[in-house]
Structure 1
Amino acid sequence: METVNKVWFITGASNGFGLALVKQLLEGGYKVAATSRNKTRLEEKAGTSPNLLALTVDITSNDDVKSAIEETVKTFGKIDVAVNNAGYMLLGALEEVSDEEFRQSVNVNVFAFQNVIRNVMPYFRKQGGGHFFNFASSAGYSADACAGSYNAAKSAVIGFSEALALEVKPFNVQVTIVSPGLFRTNFLGAFPVAQNKIEPYGTQNLVDAMNQFNGNQPGNPDKLVKILIDTAGKKNAPLHLVMGKDAYQRALNYYKSQIESLEQLKDLSFSTDFE
């Protein structure tokens, strides 16, 4: 793909990584279709440009996503890179989280990604290539008390993205899973909390800690999105991008503990086979 001719489709583009990515792409001369729940707010933040197609989209609606992708292709002729970035973290112990709250979290953090994949893939197959960036999280590697619904969603993103990479490789389509740690976006200042409060779990303590830490995260979102731009379309692009020192350490600790546990229980595991 020639750099300046690439067309990017980005969800969750009015804040955080999505907005930072839109701004850098426009500065670089790329064409960008960017979705938000409110395109006016997105345009106010990103500015107006003939290379920007701002779209109001409910990403949990397959029809909405399909229409947005069709509008992108109608406007720019193609899509080269699709970024599944939209998402949020619901805080609450699993006993506190209602069925409706959990389902909405999964709808946005998981099923919305599938809406994009399902509707972009026909274009990627037809044009003989493309690149998905699916945002997971370091929270997809190991769990946090009182954030189980988010851990579940991001683990799902990692799992289905790995499967997707195998499925689409024959069509010259690449998949990169982006797992950030703590970056200085508005993410920690915009999370909902389960309405049902059960005091012994201490969810409020986690909420207070995150609010206090907000604005002091070590990660620079502009540096992360620059890496995505540099990675897009490269031959043999990485399947996993674990971003940030904290994310690296978290993933490393998780895999070390899993290997240790496997070795400790190896004999017990092997004992279940037929003799």
Structure 2
Amino acid sequence: MAKDRKVWFITGASRGIGLDIAKAALSAGDRVVATGRDAGAVKTALPDTDDAIALQLDVTDPKQATTAVAEAMEQFGRIDVLVNNAGYGQLGVFEEIGHDAILRQFDTNLHGTLHVTRAVLPVMRRNTSGHIFNLSSIGGALGFDIASIYCATKFAVEGFSECLALEVKPFNIGVTIVQPGFFRTDFLDERSIRFSERAISDYADYAQATQGFYTSQNHAQAGDPAKLGAALVRLSREKTPPLRYAAGSDAHEYLSGAYEARMAELSDWQKLSKSTDGAAVSAA
């Protein structure tokens, strides 16, 4: 294999952003290991080429992650780019979301990312090279209505990724947190989103109005997932890729506003922040 042809390992690749990333990598001449809970659906969605294989992988199962990585290595001999994309959105007012639903959300969005990263890292360390894309969201940097649990998982992905980047830098492994805005995928379809199953009357008007807004945006979002796939291919070839990549003009706007607000608040409360310092300790 030519050195400039990368091997991508992509989770959640049967549809949506994961599938478009796979197609973009193949179009660039790279090879792809596309995974999903239904390997048949992944295979059907992918272009018919010897440069791609479809594997079954439920990211919540660490054993499946290890097996899928071993199969990828048997087929292509290396993994250069990992895309942790598998996930879904659990929406609803916090009090209305049950404990089991919260666990499922964390198992997929956060623990799935941890399981697959743990399986792939030994391969990248041996090669002293690699690039990990962890799919976060603008909801990984600021909060949105009825998205407390979803945002909690994405905030966790960002914290994990930022620390991981420090740990793997000596091995020439890069980490990029991808923060998409609203993209025209099936993310708001029933297959990709969950709403709370019980209702508390005090929240009724607020919850219904917000849920109605999200539903109305389905397949009307501004972002083009094919262009996002192409952007990640470009980033995979950068010598110094960014730690964070805001995908979409809406993402740039939302994140800029959030950072500016935080800086203003930090400045407003600077005096109180510094008031908690202890007395200086004099040198003996």
AA partner of residue 212 (structure 1)? S
Residue 271 of structure 1 corresponds to 275
- The Cα offsets for residues 13-59 of structure 1, whole Å up to 9 and x where unpaired, read as 01111011112222333211111111111122213321111011111
AA partner of residue 176 (structure 1)? T
The CA deviation at 1:2 is 5.5
Residue 211 of structure 1 corresponds to 215
Q: Distance in 2 between matches of 1:69 and 1:203?
A: 41
Alignment of 1:15-30 (within 5 A): 15-30=15-30
SS at match of 1:95: helix
Residue 221 of structure 1 corresponds to 225
Contact 1:184 1:215 in 2 (8 A): yes
Residue 201 of structure 2 corresponds to 199
Contact 2:25 2:229 in 1 (8 A): no
Q: Distance in 1 between matches of 2:178 and 2:134?
A: 6
Residue 244 of structure 1 corresponds to 248
Could you tell me the percent identity over the aligned residues? Answer: 39
SS at match of 1:145: coil
Task: Identify which range, 193-202 or 143-152, moves more after superposition.
Answer: 193-202
- The Cα offsets for residues 224-269 of structure 1, whole Å up to 9 and x where unpaired, read as 1101001114211111100111111111111111111111111111
Does 2:252 correspond to 1:254? no
- The Cα offsets for residues 174-220 of structure 1, whole Å up to 9 and x where unpaired, read as 00110000111111123111112223323232222112111211111
Q: Distance in 2 between matches of 1:141 and 1:21?
A: 23
SS at match of 1:216: coil
Contact 2:93 2:207 in 1 (8 A): yes
AA partner of residue 126 (structure 1)? R
SS at match of 2:113: helix
SS at match of 2:125: helix
- The Cα offsets for residues 107-129 of structure 1, whole Å up to 9 and x where unpaired, read as 11101101111111111110111
SS at match of 1:64: helix
AA partner of residue 105 (structure 1)? Q
Q: Distance in 2 between matches of 1:193 and 1:56?
A: 27
Q: Distance in 2 between matches of 1:66 and 1:131?
A: 18
SS at match of 2:195: coil
Gapped runs of 5+ residues in structure 2?
A: 280-284
SS at match of 2:8: strand
Alignment of 1:45-194 (within 5 A): 45-189=45-189, 190-194=192-196
SS at match of 1:176: strand
Contact 1:91 1:203 in 2 (8 A): no
Please, what TM-score do these two structures have when normalized by structure 2? 0.93
Root mean square deviation of aligned Cα = 1.4
Contact 1:4 1:29 in 2 (8 A): no
Gapped runs of 5+ residues in structure 1?
A: none
Task: Identify which range, 183-192 or 129-138, moves more after superposition.
Answer: 183-192
Q: Distance in 2 between matches of 1:273 and 1:8?
A: 48
Task: Identify which range, 169-178 or 28-37, moves more after superposition.
Answer: 28-37
Contact 2:94 2:148 in 1 (8 A): yes
Q: Distance in 2 between matches of 1:198 and 1:228?
A: 42
Please, what TM-score do these two structures have when normalized by structure 1? 0.96
AA partner of residue 181 (structure 1)? G
Q: Distance in 2 between matches of 1:29 and 1:272?
A: 56
Contact 1:91 1:192 in 2 (8 A): yes
Q: Distance in 2 between matches of 1:56 and 1:229?
A: 23
Contact 1:102 1:149 in 2 (8 A): yes
AA partner of residue 239 (structure 1)? L
The CA deviation at 1:4 is 5.3
Across the two proteins, how many residue pairs are aligned to each other?
Answer: 275
